[in-house]
Amino acid sequence: MRRFSCDEDNIYENIESELCFFTSQERQSIIKYWLDNLRAKQGEVLHNLNFLEGQPIIPELVARGVIHQMFLS
């Protein structure tokens, strides 16, 4: 996937429409990427789980059974 730059927004079609710019699958891929790369800050606690700084949050919540399933097309 190519990095997006607002300096180049004139080369993209339908950029002014958030519903037309990305397909549903592309939007899901972006959200999945953000979730997979969500990292804990120093001392962060969630559902009585203590995270280390920089630890991926979602994989740990899945491993501990806090998150049971994620749906993506």
| Cα separation, 37 vs 61, whole angstroms | 13
Residue 2 confidence (pLDDT):
66
Whether the full predicted model's pTM is greater than 0.75, yes or no, is no
Domain residue spans of the chain = 39-73
> How far is C-alpha 30 from the chain's CA centre?
6
**pLDDT mean values, one per 10 residues, the chain (73 residues):** 71 75 83 90 89 92 87 60
CB contact at 8 A, 58 and 67 = yes
From the number of C-beta atoms within 10 Å of its C-beta (0-12, 13-18, 19+), residue 29 rates as middle
From the number of C-beta atoms within 10 Å of its C-beta (0-12, 13-18, 19+), residue 57 rates as buried
